[in-house]
Amino acid sequence: MALKLGDKIPNFTSKDSLGDDFDSASVVGKKPVIFYFYPKDNTPGCTAQACSFRDQYEDFKHLGAEVIGISSDSVASHEKFAKQYHLPFKLLSDNDKKIRTLFGVKPNLFGLIPGRVTYVADKEGIIRLVFDSLVATSHIPKALEMIKKLVS
């Protein structure tokens, strides 16, 4: 069952692009957070999305929010992707698709491509925006607009 507006972000753990353990409890309920699920490292749309989040990252940080990308790529793939594009935020490896399943992110295009969905949660960990669109770069302005509303 997919997470929706008003739901609390569930607890989960993963490995980040440095191979370090990540626990969602380290950010959820402490600050606004953006979790964005994307299909695959080093593909045109996903690279554009990651670089757009990178280019706006200081705006998110200035508002006290954290950005975290999630895909089923390996830690090694994430490490290379993050270094190549100078990504300042965490990328989580969901190679067993447990996090994607926990959030209820459905595949797109007849199940051929993993879904591209962005979740914005307030500092209590409550989901305030669920944005599902294949248009990769459309996620960043939507997430930033919601974060601005949450902190104003």
Catalytic residues: 46
List, in order, residues 6 or more apart from 65 with CB less than 8 Å away. 31, 32, 33, 34, 147, 151
Phi, psi of 67 (to 5 degrees): -110, 135
What DSSP character marks residue 63? T
- CA distances 18 to 58, 127, 147, 149, Å, are 21, 27, 27, 32
Amino acid (1-letter code) at residue 31: K
